[in-house]
Protein backbone atom coordinates (compact mmCIF):
# COMPACT_ATOMS: atom_id res chain seq x y z
CA UNK A 1 0.00 0.00 0.00
CA UNK A 2 1.18 3.49 -0.86
CA UNK A 3 2.60 5.77 1.78
CA UNK A 4 2.05 8.97 -0.18
CA UNK A 5 -0.19 11.67 1.23
CA UNK A 6 -3.18 13.49 -0.21
CA UNK A 7 -0.97 16.49 -1.08
CA UNK A 8 1.18 14.47 -3.45
CA UNK A 9 -1.88 12.86 -5.03
CA UNK A 10 -3.64 16.19 -5.59
CA UNK A 11 -0.41 17.85 -6.75
CA UNK A 12 0.27 15.14 -9.32
CA UNK A 13 -3.24 15.13 -10.75
CA UNK A 14 -3.49 18.93 -10.89
CA UNK A 15 -0.01 19.15 -12.42
CA UNK A 16 -1.09 16.70 -15.12
CA UNK A 17 -4.34 18.63 -15.73
CA UNK A 18 -2.46 21.94 -16.00
CA UNK A 19 0.03 20.46 -18.46
CA UNK A 20 -2.77 19.01 -20.58
CA UNK A 21 -4.84 22.23 -20.64
CA UNK A 22 -1.89 24.57 -21.21
CA UNK A 23 -0.14 22.31 -23.71
CA UNK A 24 -3.21 21.47 -25.80
CA UNK A 25 -3.54 24.80 -27.65
CA UNK A 26 0.01 24.38 -28.98
CA UNK A 27 -0.04 20.68 -29.92
CA UNK A 28 1.72 19.98 -33.21
CA UNK A 29 3.74 23.23 -33.36
CA UNK A 30 7.51 23.54 -33.91
CA UNK A 31 9.91 24.13 -31.02
CA UNK A 32 10.16 27.75 -29.86
CA UNK A 33 12.29 29.60 -27.32
CA UNK A 34 11.31 29.35 -23.66
CA UNK A 35 10.58 33.07 -23.72
CA UNK A 36 8.07 32.59 -26.52
CA UNK A 37 6.60 29.55 -24.78
CA UNK A 38 6.13 31.61 -21.60
CA UNK A 39 4.22 34.18 -23.66
CA UNK A 40 2.11 31.36 -25.14
CA UNK A 41 1.24 30.07 -21.70
CA UNK A 42 0.39 33.60 -20.51
CA UNK A 43 -1.83 34.07 -23.55
CA UNK A 44 -3.58 30.76 -22.99
CA UNK A 45 -4.30 31.77 -19.39
CA UNK A 46 -6.20 34.82 -20.64
CA UNK A 47 -8.93 32.54 -22.03
CA UNK A 48 -12.01 32.11 -19.85
CA UNK A 49 -11.51 28.36 -19.84
CA UNK A 50 -8.80 25.98 -21.05
CA UNK A 51 -10.25 22.67 -22.19
CA UNK A 52 -8.65 19.39 -21.19
CA UNK A 53 -8.11 16.58 -23.68
CA UNK A 54 -7.98 12.79 -23.82
CA UNK A 55 -4.99 12.80 -21.43
CA UNK A 56 -7.16 13.97 -18.52
CA UNK A 57 -10.25 12.05 -19.59
CA UNK A 58 -8.36 8.75 -19.56
CA UNK A 59 -6.61 9.55 -16.26
CA UNK A 60 -10.04 10.08 -14.69
CA UNK A 61 -11.28 6.81 -16.23
CA UNK A 62 -8.34 4.97 -14.66
CA UNK A 63 -9.17 6.46 -11.26
CA UNK A 64 -12.84 5.45 -11.73
CA UNK A 65 -11.60 1.91 -12.28
CA UNK A 66 -9.04 1.75 -9.45
CA UNK A 67 -11.44 3.20 -6.91
CA UNK A 68 -14.78 1.88 -8.19
CA UNK A 69 -14.05 -1.57 -9.65
CA UNK A 70 -10.86 -3.29 -8.61
CA UNK A 71 -7.39 -1.94 -8.10
CA UNK A 72 -5.95 -5.15 -9.54
CA UNK A 73 -6.79 -3.69 -12.95
CA UNK A 74 -8.98 -5.76 -15.22
CA UNK A 75 -8.32 -4.57 -18.79
CA UNK A 76 -11.89 -5.24 -19.99
CA UNK A 77 -13.40 -3.35 -17.06
CA UNK A 78 -10.93 -0.51 -17.53
CA UNK A 79 -11.93 -0.32 -21.21
CA UNK A 80 -15.58 0.04 -20.10
CA UNK A 81 -14.59 2.93 -17.81
CA UNK A 82 -12.75 4.57 -20.73
CA UNK A 83 -15.81 4.16 -22.94
CA UNK A 84 -18.06 5.66 -20.26
CA UNK A 85 -15.99 8.86 -20.23
CA UNK A 86 -15.15 8.88 -23.95
CA UNK A 87 -15.87 12.12 -25.78
CA UNK A 88 -14.86 12.24 -29.43
CA UNK A 89 -14.11 16.00 -29.21
CA UNK A 90 -11.23 15.55 -26.76
CA UNK A 91 -8.44 15.16 -29.34
CA UNK A 92 -8.00 11.39 -29.27
CA UNK A 93 -5.54 9.91 -31.76
CA UNK A 94 -6.73 8.10 -34.88
CA UNK A 95 -5.72 4.68 -33.55
CA UNK A 96 -7.59 5.22 -30.29
CA UNK A 97 -10.73 6.33 -32.11
CA UNK A 98 -10.69 3.16 -34.22
CA UNK A 99 -10.19 1.09 -31.10
CA UNK A 100 -13.20 2.71 -29.44
CA UNK A 101 -15.31 1.88 -32.51
CA UNK A 102 -14.29 -1.77 -32.17
CA UNK A 103 -15.17 -1.83 -28.45
CA UNK A 104 -18.57 -0.36 -29.28
CA UNK A 105 -19.04 -3.09 -31.89
CA UNK A 106 -18.56 -5.62 -29.11
CA UNK A 107 -15.01 -6.74 -29.88
CA UNK A 108 -13.11 -8.59 -27.19
CA UNK A 109 -10.64 -6.14 -25.60
CA UNK A 110 -7.59 -8.39 -26.18
CA UNK A 111 -8.47 -8.91 -29.85
CA UNK A 112 -9.13 -5.20 -30.40
CA UNK A 113 -5.73 -4.25 -28.93
CA UNK A 114 -3.94 -5.73 -31.96
CA UNK A 115 -6.58 -4.95 -34.59
CA UNK A 116 -5.43 -1.40 -35.30
CA UNK A 117 -1.66 -2.03 -35.08
CA UNK A 118 -0.80 -5.75 -35.41
CA UNK A 119 2.02 -5.51 -32.83
CA UNK A 120 -0.02 -3.22 -30.64
CA UNK A 121 0.28 0.53 -30.19
CA UNK A 122 3.51 2.13 -28.99
CA UNK A 123 1.71 5.49 -28.64
CA UNK A 124 2.12 7.43 -25.41
CA UNK A 125 -1.54 7.03 -24.41
CA UNK A 126 -0.85 4.47 -21.68
CA UNK A 127 1.93 6.63 -20.20
CA UNK A 128 -0.08 9.86 -20.20
CA UNK A 129 -2.86 8.39 -18.02
CA UNK A 130 -0.80 6.23 -15.62
CA UNK A 131 -0.06 8.67 -12.76
CA UNK A 132 -2.76 7.18 -10.46
CA UNK A 133 -0.90 3.85 -10.50
CA UNK A 134 2.36 5.45 -9.36
CA UNK A 135 0.51 7.28 -6.60
CA UNK A 136 -1.48 4.23 -5.54
CA UNK A 137 1.53 1.94 -5.12
CA UNK A 138 4.42 4.35 -4.47
CA UNK A 139 7.14 2.46 -2.63
CA UNK A 140 6.09 -0.92 -4.01
CA UNK A 141 8.32 -1.28 -7.07
CA UNK A 142 7.17 -4.66 -8.38
CA UNK A 143 3.48 -3.88 -7.94
CA UNK A 144 3.84 -0.59 -9.84
CA UNK A 145 5.48 -2.41 -12.74
CA UNK A 146 2.80 -5.11 -12.74
CA UNK A 147 -0.21 -2.79 -12.42
CA UNK A 148 1.10 -0.16 -14.85
CA UNK A 149 1.54 -2.94 -17.40
CA UNK A 150 -2.03 -4.13 -16.88
CA UNK A 151 -3.37 -0.58 -17.07
CA UNK A 152 -1.79 -0.22 -20.53
CA UNK A 153 -3.30 -3.43 -21.91
CA UNK A 154 -6.71 -2.30 -23.16
CA UNK A 155 -5.05 0.10 -25.61
CA UNK A 156 -1.28 -0.49 -25.74
CA UNK A 157 0.13 -4.02 -25.95
CA UNK A 158 3.33 -3.16 -27.82
CA UNK A 159 6.29 -3.58 -25.38
CA UNK A 160 7.37 0.03 -25.94
CA UNK A 161 3.88 1.40 -25.26
CA UNK A 162 3.74 -0.64 -22.06
CA UNK A 163 7.27 0.34 -21.02
CA UNK A 164 6.44 4.03 -21.40
CA UNK A 165 3.61 3.58 -18.92
CA UNK A 166 5.78 1.62 -16.48
CA UNK A 167 8.58 4.22 -16.56
CA UNK A 168 6.17 7.15 -16.12
CA UNK A 169 4.39 5.38 -13.23
CA UNK A 170 7.73 4.85 -11.45
CA UNK A 171 8.69 8.50 -12.02
CA UNK A 172 5.44 9.70 -10.41
CA UNK A 173 5.91 7.25 -7.53
CA UNK A 174 9.47 8.38 -6.79
CA UNK A 175 8.48 12.05 -6.94
CA UNK A 176 5.43 11.49 -4.70
CA UNK A 177 7.21 9.43 -2.08
CA UNK A 178 10.47 11.44 -1.85
CA UNK A 179 9.29 14.94 -2.74
CA UNK A 180 12.15 15.15 -5.22
CA UNK A 181 12.68 14.49 -8.90
CA UNK A 182 16.02 15.46 -10.41
CA UNK A 183 18.63 13.93 -12.67
CA UNK A 184 19.55 11.19 -10.17
CA UNK A 185 15.95 10.01 -9.91
CA UNK A 186 15.58 10.17 -13.69
CA UNK A 187 18.76 8.16 -14.29
CA UNK A 188 17.67 5.47 -11.83
CA UNK A 189 14.31 4.74 -13.48
CA UNK A 190 13.95 1.16 -14.69
CA UNK A 191 13.28 0.61 -18.39
CA UNK A 192 12.66 -2.77 -19.98
CA UNK A 193 13.09 -1.88 -23.65
CA UNK A 194 16.11 -0.57 -25.59
CA UNK A 195 13.99 2.34 -26.84
CA UNK A 196 13.09 3.66 -23.39
CA UNK A 197 16.56 2.88 -21.97
CA UNK A 198 18.20 4.94 -24.72
CA UNK A 199 15.68 7.75 -24.23
CA UNK A 200 16.21 7.91 -20.47
CA UNK A 201 20.01 7.88 -20.87
CA UNK A 202 19.80 10.74 -23.34
CA UNK A 203 17.48 12.70 -21.02
CA UNK A 204 19.65 12.10 -17.95
CA UNK A 205 22.73 13.49 -19.69
CA UNK A 206 21.17 16.36 -21.66
CA UNK A 207 22.17 19.73 -20.11
CA UNK A 208 19.37 22.03 -18.99
CA UNK A 209 21.07 24.83 -20.93
CA UNK A 210 20.33 23.46 -24.41
CA UNK A 211 17.75 25.26 -26.51
CA UNK A 212 14.26 23.81 -26.68
CA UNK A 213 14.85 22.97 -30.35
CA UNK A 214 18.02 21.01 -29.44
CA UNK A 215 16.17 19.17 -26.69
CA UNK A 216 13.31 18.35 -29.04
CA UNK A 217 15.75 16.94 -31.58
CA UNK A 218 17.65 14.90 -28.98
CA UNK A 219 14.66 13.49 -27.09
CA UNK A 220 11.75 13.68 -29.51
CA UNK A 221 8.27 15.16 -29.16
CA UNK A 222 6.14 12.63 -31.06
CA UNK A 223 3.01 10.99 -29.61
CA UNK A 224 4.89 7.71 -29.19
CA UNK A 225 6.16 6.46 -25.86
CA UNK A 226 9.93 6.50 -26.38
CA UNK A 227 9.90 9.92 -28.10
CA UNK A 228 7.87 11.73 -25.45
CA UNK A 229 8.28 10.12 -22.00
CA UNK A 230 12.05 10.93 -21.84
CA UNK A 231 11.34 14.53 -22.93
CA UNK A 232 8.66 14.92 -20.25
CA UNK A 233 10.95 13.52 -17.56
CA UNK A 234 13.77 15.83 -18.67
CA UNK A 235 11.40 18.81 -18.28
CA UNK A 236 10.40 17.59 -14.81
CA UNK A 237 13.97 16.84 -13.70
CA UNK A 238 15.69 19.97 -14.97
CA UNK A 239 13.07 22.65 -14.22
CA UNK A 240 12.82 24.13 -10.76
CA UNK A 241 9.02 24.11 -10.55
CA UNK A 242 5.76 23.11 -12.19
CA UNK A 243 5.35 26.33 -14.17
CA UNK A 244 8.82 26.10 -15.73
CA UNK A 245 8.37 22.41 -16.50
CA UNK A 246 5.14 23.15 -18.38
CA UNK A 247 6.61 26.19 -20.17
CA UNK A 248 9.59 24.08 -21.26
CA UNK A 249 7.29 21.30 -22.51
CA UNK A 250 5.35 23.89 -24.56
CA UNK A 251 8.68 25.20 -25.92
CA UNK A 252 9.65 21.75 -27.17
CA UNK A 253 6.65 21.66 -29.51
CA UNK A 254 5.10 18.51 -30.96
CA UNK A 255 2.93 16.56 -28.53
CA UNK A 256 2.82 19.45 -26.06
CA UNK A 257 -0.34 18.52 -24.16
CA UNK A 258 0.95 15.08 -23.34
CA UNK A 259 4.57 15.99 -22.66
CA UNK A 260 3.42 18.83 -20.40
CA UNK A 261 0.86 16.56 -18.69
CA UNK A 262 3.47 13.89 -17.92
CA UNK A 263 6.03 16.46 -16.76
CA UNK A 264 3.30 18.16 -14.70
CA UNK A 265 2.30 14.91 -13.01
CA UNK A 266 5.87 14.30 -11.85
CA UNK A 267 6.60 17.89 -10.71
CA UNK A 268 3.18 18.16 -9.07
CA UNK A 269 3.74 14.86 -7.24
CA UNK A 270 7.05 16.17 -5.86
CA UNK A 271 5.93 19.72 -5.05
CA UNK A 272 2.25 19.35 -4.13
CA UNK A 273 -0.82 21.36 -5.13
CA UNK A 274 0.62 24.65 -3.83
CA UNK A 275 2.99 24.52 -6.81
CA UNK A 276 0.07 25.44 -9.07
CA UNK A 277 0.64 29.17 -9.69
CA UNK A 278 -2.06 31.55 -8.43
CA UNK A 279 -4.62 32.27 -11.12
CA UNK A 280 -4.35 28.91 -12.85
CA UNK A 281 -7.02 26.88 -11.08
CA UNK A 282 -10.08 28.84 -12.25
CA UNK A 283 -9.05 28.58 -15.93
CA UNK A 284 -8.46 24.82 -16.00
CA UNK A 285 -11.53 22.96 -17.16
CA UNK A 286 -12.26 20.05 -14.85
CA UNK A 287 -10.25 21.50 -11.95
CA UNK A 288 -12.90 20.62 -9.35
CA UNK A 289 -13.52 17.16 -10.86
CA UNK A 290 -9.80 16.43 -10.69
CA UNK A 291 -9.59 17.59 -7.06
CA UNK A 292 -12.55 15.33 -6.27
CA UNK A 293 -10.92 12.41 -8.11
CA UNK A 294 -7.72 13.04 -6.13
CA UNK A 295 -9.75 12.95 -2.93
CA UNK A 296 -11.29 9.60 -3.94
CA UNK A 297 -7.91 8.14 -4.90
CA UNK A 298 -6.19 9.42 -1.75
CA UNK A 299 -9.10 8.12 0.34
CA UNK A 300 -8.66 4.67 -1.15
CA UNK A 301 -4.98 4.66 -0.10
CA UNK A 302 -5.73 4.46 3.58
CA UNK A 303 -9.02 2.63 3.77
CA UNK A 304 -7.43 -0.17 5.73
CA UNK A 305 -8.29 -2.98 3.34
CA UNK A 306 -4.77 -4.38 3.46
CA UNK A 307 -2.97 -6.02 0.55
CA UNK A 308 -4.04 -4.36 -2.69
CA UNK A 309 -2.15 -6.41 -5.23
N1 LIG B 1 -3.44 12.25 -31.13
C2 LIG B 1 -3.39 13.30 -30.50
N3 LIG B 1 -3.34 14.51 -31.13
C4 LIG B 1 -3.28 14.69 -32.55
C5 LIG B 1 -4.68 14.79 -33.13
C6 LIG B 1 -5.58 15.66 -32.35
C7 LIG B 1 -6.38 16.48 -33.31
N8 LIG B 1 -6.01 17.87 -33.12
C9 LIG B 1 -7.85 16.28 -33.04
O10 LIG B 1 -8.45 17.15 -32.42
O11 LIG B 1 -8.39 15.25 -33.47
N12 LIG B 1 -3.41 13.36 -29.17
C13 LIG B 1 -3.59 12.26 -28.31
O14 LIG B 1 -2.98 11.10 -28.85
C15 LIG B 1 -1.74 10.78 -28.15
C16 LIG B 1 -1.92 9.48 -27.44
O17 LIG B 1 -2.06 8.54 -28.45
P18 LIG B 1 -2.48 7.03 -28.13
O19 LIG B 1 -3.65 7.05 -27.24
O20 LIG B 1 -1.28 6.29 -27.73
O21 LIG B 1 -3.01 6.64 -29.57
P22 LIG B 1 -2.43 5.68 -30.71
O23 LIG B 1 -3.21 6.04 -31.92
O24 LIG B 1 -2.48 4.27 -30.25
O25 LIG B 1 -0.89 6.07 -30.91
C26 LIG B 1 -0.50 7.38 -31.28
C27 LIG B 1 0.21 7.37 -32.63
O28 LIG B 1 1.45 6.66 -32.55
C29 LIG B 1 1.72 5.98 -33.79
N30 LIG B 1 1.82 4.53 -33.52
C31 LIG B 1 1.51 3.91 -32.37
N32 LIG B 1 1.73 2.60 -32.45
C33 LIG B 1 2.19 2.37 -33.69
C34 LIG B 1 2.59 1.18 -34.40
N35 LIG B 1 2.58 -0.05 -33.83
N36 LIG B 1 3.00 1.31 -35.68
C37 LIG B 1 3.04 2.56 -36.28
N38 LIG B 1 2.65 3.73 -35.66
C39 LIG B 1 2.25 3.62 -34.39
C40 LIG B 1 0.55 6.31 -34.71
O41 LIG B 1 0.88 7.42 -35.50
C42 LIG B 1 -0.56 6.63 -33.72
O43 LIG B 1 -1.60 7.42 -34.24
C44 LIG B 1 -1.52 11.90 -27.18
O45 LIG B 1 -0.71 12.87 -27.77
C46 LIG B 1 -2.90 12.46 -26.96
O47 LIG B 1 -2.86 13.80 -26.57
MG1 LIG C 1 -4.39 14.95 -25.59
MG1 LIG D 1 -1.01 14.75 -26.89
CATH number of the domain that residue 182 is part of: 1.10.4080.10
Q: Is residue 307 part of a domain?
A: no
Give the model's pLDDT for residue 242.
98
25 ligand 1 Cβ < 6 A: no
Q: Could you tell me if 100 and 202 are in contact, meaning their C-beta atoms sit under 8 angstroms apart?
A: no
Give the model's pLDDT for residue 302.
60
Segments forming the whole domain that contains residue 238: 6-302
Helix, strand or coil, per DSSP, at residue 35 = helix
Q: Is residue 88 part of a domain?
A: yes
Angle at 252 between CA 58 and CA 206, to 5 degrees: 105
Provide the 8-state DSSP code for 144: H
Give the model's pLDDT for residue 309.
34
Number of domains in the chain: 1
- Round the average pLDDT of the chain to a whole number and report it: 95
Give the model's pLDDT for residue 277.
97
Q: Is residue 309 part of a domain?
A: no
Q: Is residue 91 part of a domain?
A: yes
What is the average per-residue pLDDT within 70-94?
94
Q: Is residue 51 part of a domain?
A: yes
Q: Is residue 247 part of a domain?
A: yes
Centre of ligand 2 from the C-alpha of residue 27, in Å: 8
* 38-41: long-range pairs with CB below 8 Å, 24+: 38/247, 40/250, 41/243, 41/246, 41/247, 41/250
Q: How far from chain centre, in Å, is Cα 170?
A: 11
Q: Around ion ligand 3, which residues have CB less than 5 A away?
A: 255, 257-258
Interatomic CA distance for residues 97 and 121, integer angstroms: 13
What is the average per-residue pLDDT within 291-298?
97
- Residue 165, pLDDT > 50, answer yes
- Residue 14, pLDDT > 70, answer yes
The DSSP bridge partners found for residue 50 are 284
Substitution site in 95, 153, 157, 253 for ligand 1 pocket (most atoms within 8 Å of beta carbon)? 95
Q: Is residue 278 part of a domain?
A: yes
123 ligand 1 Cβ < 6 A: yes
Q: Is residue 32 part of a domain?
A: yes
The DSSP bridge partners found for residue 224 are 123
Amino acid sequence: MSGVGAQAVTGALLGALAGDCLGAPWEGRHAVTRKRARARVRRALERPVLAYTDDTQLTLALIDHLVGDTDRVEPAQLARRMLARYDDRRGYGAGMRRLVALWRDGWDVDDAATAVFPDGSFGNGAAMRVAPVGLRWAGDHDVITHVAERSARPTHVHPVGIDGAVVQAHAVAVAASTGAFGRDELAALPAATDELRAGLQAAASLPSTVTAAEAARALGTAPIAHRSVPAALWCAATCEDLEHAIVTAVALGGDTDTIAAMAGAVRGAADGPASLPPGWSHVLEGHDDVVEAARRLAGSLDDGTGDRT
